[in-house]
Amino acid sequence: MRGPIRRGGARRAEDGSYREEMAAQHQAEVEREKKTVRVNEFITVSELAQILKTPAVQIVGFAFKNLGLMVTINQRLDFDQIELIAGEFGFQAVKEEEYAADLKTAPTADDTPEQLEPRPPVVTIMGHVDHGKTSLLDYIRKSNVVAGESGGITQHIGAYHVEKNGRKIVFIDTPGHEAFTRMRSRGAKVTDIVVLVVAADDGVMPQTLEAIDHARAAKVPILVAINKIDKPDAQPDRIKQQLSDRGLLAEDWGGDVVMVPVSARKKENLELLLEMILLVADLLDLKANPNRPAMGTVLEAKLDRGRGPVPTVLVRNGTLRVGDFFICGQVFGKVRAMIDDRGQQVRAVEPSMPVEVLGLDALPESGDEFQVITDTAKAKQIVLYRESKARDVALAKNKRLTLEQFNKKMQAGEVKELPLILKADVNGSAEVLSDTMQSLSTDKVRVNVLRSGVGAITESDVDLASASDAIIIGFNVKPERNAAALADREKVDIRLHSIIYNLTDEIKKAMAGLLSPVFREIYKGKAEVKATFRVSKVGNVAGCQVLDGNITRDCSARIMRDGVAVHTGRIISLRRFKDDVSEVRSGMECGITVDYNDVKTGDVIEAFLSERVLTETI
């Protein structure tokens, strides 16, 4: 009997140790769970102190001593900083999951192939002003849109549908490219096909090129309508040649771009244009599931005095019905009524169709996602979360892609494409730059030139860069004042160069993950030269009046003559009357000596400092 008793005792001992081990593992898991804290991005020091149950003064002290950050209790921290601070105090910080993460935003995210049905194509009309975009659409839908526009110019986004061979086509007429850019920058891709309208008697114009740039950036197919072929001076082949120079080669010339010569005034080839749109749509194989809750995108929104906030929504998937509860950006509401593009009230709207929706309490923004939801409690949670997230993001620093960030991501293998916008002083330089930049593409990263043009960097360039996370290269040109201010607000990286070898070296180093520190120019002020004097042992002295900012003796100086920089150097001396001074403020007169003896009356001396910007490292 002894044997079995000993075995039983051993078994009990083993069971006891096993239970102790399991209990220890469970306790360790409980402790790990206790030390894991879920945080939103961009919370304040005070909020983090409450989450970690740690005095805020300790967090401030740790941030200053170990991270080199001088923070206050109301200052917001990014997630990297939160993670480091939480780790110091024995916690592991993880990002709080967004409430809306369970919502499938992709049109066919949870749809089976059997549920999908063909849907109408969504076509965006784009092109240069007065090339006949709205007139063409007017004749297509057999109504009079132009008469309702101010001065015959489109003032808002209009969405209309037509029928051809029993199939529907939805058209979006835009007032330019700003709305197109804004919606893309918010992650919304609402158009399937871009119809580029070009006047046969005018040719390819700046807005035509902008439309091409935006369509390519959105990665949607382009169909060209060569309008006004009825005019005596129309030259359709010339238009095809100009477009081929921009990479759009017509099908009858051996390319893959459908080009249809039309006349909106005489209604020539309009039926052929519609047939070509349907043909391109067939190649795209556009499908959606009409038997599910609707989701869509806000094309525009207006505040009507009698009806309140009225957004125009394009339903991308599902069917929208009167009585549905929905969330739209940071707004929760119920569909009270819907009005289609013909002004008729409707009860249900299928995929790809535009409709005005009544029932919102606040005005959404263009590009906001519109989604029907059955769980109203969850919908309200999502809206509250989005409001909080929007506040946090608005207060946080807006980070765009810079060449330094691209360099870091390149080392980490996170990027495959470098989008660029090139502006040069002459067309020859622009073409050479475009070819040179694209030739730098490798098997690891591709350089994508979204736009190449001549002239100063404009607000339109910054808008496109902001929407596409592109970097702007200026070659012998500078940004306009408004464009520079917009780039600063949107955090768009602008690189100015005058030597092509330096530019190519910088791009190559960024692509290889070897980008060196760069210098950023800080504008201090400018002064106009009123007269020049020759002083012995000193040289030429420019008698100046400071126009704005302030001039300091440690500044560098750029001599501007008729808007062109003729010299860049340093300030040798700065005087007020006979006294050496360290600073001269706006409105005051002074004498400035620079390392350039050909300063003339009327020149403008720009003062600036160079600040070294270190490359981010891993």
Top-confidence range, 163-172, 173-182, 213-222, 541-550: 541-550
pLDDT in tens, 73-108: 777 777 778 888 888 888 888 776 543 444 444 334
Top-confidence range, 11-20, 125-134, 294-303: 294-303
> Per mean pLDDT, which range of 128-132, 296-300, 567-571, 579-583 is the poorest?
128-132
For residue 172, what is the enclosing H or E element? strand 167-173
Q: What is the DSSP letter of 319?
A: B
Higher model confidence: residue 303 or residue 576?
Answer: 576
For residue 395, what are the contacts with CB-CB under 8 A and spacing of at least 6?
42, 76
* 592-606 mean pLDDT: 90
Render the burial of 522-536: b for 16+ CB within 10 Å, e for the rest: eebbbbbbeebeeee
- Indicate if the pLDDT at residue 233 is higher than 60: yes
Determine if residue 488 is left, alpha or beta; phi over 0 gives left, psi from -120 to 50 gives alpha, anything else beta.
Answer: alpha
Top-confidence range, 37-51, 101-115, 451-465, 503-517: 451-465
Render the burial of 325-347: b for 16+ CB within 10 Å, e for the rest: bbbbbbbbbebeebbbbeeeebe
Question: Residue 570 corresponds to which tokens in the numbers above?
Answer: 């340093």
- Specify the pLDDT at position 514: 45
Contact 341, 354 (CB under 8 A): yes
- Indicate if the pLDDT at residue 44 is higher than 50: yes
Rg (CA), the chain: 31
- Specify the pLDDT at position 589: 92
Contact 250, 239 (CB under 8 A): no
Top-confidence range, 125-134, 146-155, 327-336, 601-610: 601-610
CATH 3.40.50.10050 fits 403-516, yes or no: yes
Closest CA to 608 of 590, 594, 588: 594
Closest CA to 269 of 254, 278, 259: 259
- Indicate if the pLDDT at residue 266 is higher than 90: no
* 352-357 mean pLDDT: 90
* 244-253 mean pLDDT: 87
Closest CA to 548 of 605, 592, 591, 586: 586
- Specify the pLDDT at position 175: 52
SS3 23: helix
From-to residues of CATH 3.40.50.300 in the chain? 120-285
- Specify the pLDDT at position 390: 66
Question: Residue 271 corresponds to which tokens in the numbers above?
Answer: 């039926």
Continuous H helices in 480-607: 481-490, 500-512
For residue 153, what are the contacts with CB-CB under 8 A and spacing of at least 6?
129, 175
Model confidence band, residue 414 (pLDDT cutoffs 50, 70, 90): low
Residues in the chain: 618
- Indicate if the pLDDT at residue 530 is higher than 90: yes
Higher model confidence: residue 3 or residue 450?
Answer: 450
For residue 535, what are the contacts with CB-CB under 8 A and spacing of at least 6?
541
- Specify the pLDDT at position 446: 79
Distance, CA of 473 to CA of 493 (rounded, Å): 9
Distance, CA of 304 to CA of 528 (rounded, Å): 51
- Specify the pLDDT at position 348: 93
- Indicate if the pLDDT at residue 345 is higher than 80: yes
- Indicate if the pLDDT at residue 157 is higher than 50: no
* 33-54 mean pLDDT: 75
* 383-394 mean pLDDT: 67
Closest CA to 125 of 237, 273, 282, 248: 273
Contact 246, 212 (CB under 8 A): yes
In the chain the first and final C-alpha atoms are separated, in Å, by 69
Contact 419, 402 (CB under 8 A): no
Please give the torsion angle defined by the CA atoms of residues 534, 538, 544 and 550, in that order, rounded to the nearest 10 degrees: 180
* 267-284 mean pLDDT: 89
From-to residues of CATH 2.40.30.10 in the chain? 295-374, 521-613
Contact 274, 195 (CB under 8 A): no
Count of C-beta atoms within a 10 Å radius of residue 391: 12
pLDDT in tens, 533-546: 888 777 789 999 99
* 208-223 mean pLDDT: 82
C-alpha dist (Å) from residue 190 to 16, 159, 294, 360, 442: 64, 12, 15, 21, 32
Contact 301, 311 (CB under 8 A): yes
CATH architecture of 295-374: Beta Barrel (2.40)
Distance, CA of 554 to CA of 307 (rounded, Å): 61
> Per mean pLDDT, which range of 8-17, 114-123, 327-336 is the poorest?
8-17
SS3 601: coil
Q: Which homologous superfamily is 521-613 in?
A: Translation factors (2.40.30.10)
Higher model confidence: residue 509 or residue 483?
Answer: 483
Contact 225, 243 (CB under 8 A): no
Model confidence band, residue 529 (pLDDT cutoffs 50, 70, 90): very high
Distance, CA of 464 to CA of 483 (rounded, Å): 12
Just give the CATH number of 120-285: 3.40.50.300
Continuous H helices in 533-605: none
Average pLDDT taken over every residue of the chain? 78
For the chain, percent of residues with pLDDT exceeding 90: 10
Count of C-beta atoms within a 10 Å radius of residue 444: 11
pLDDT in tens, 318-342: 999 999 988 887 788 889 999 888 7
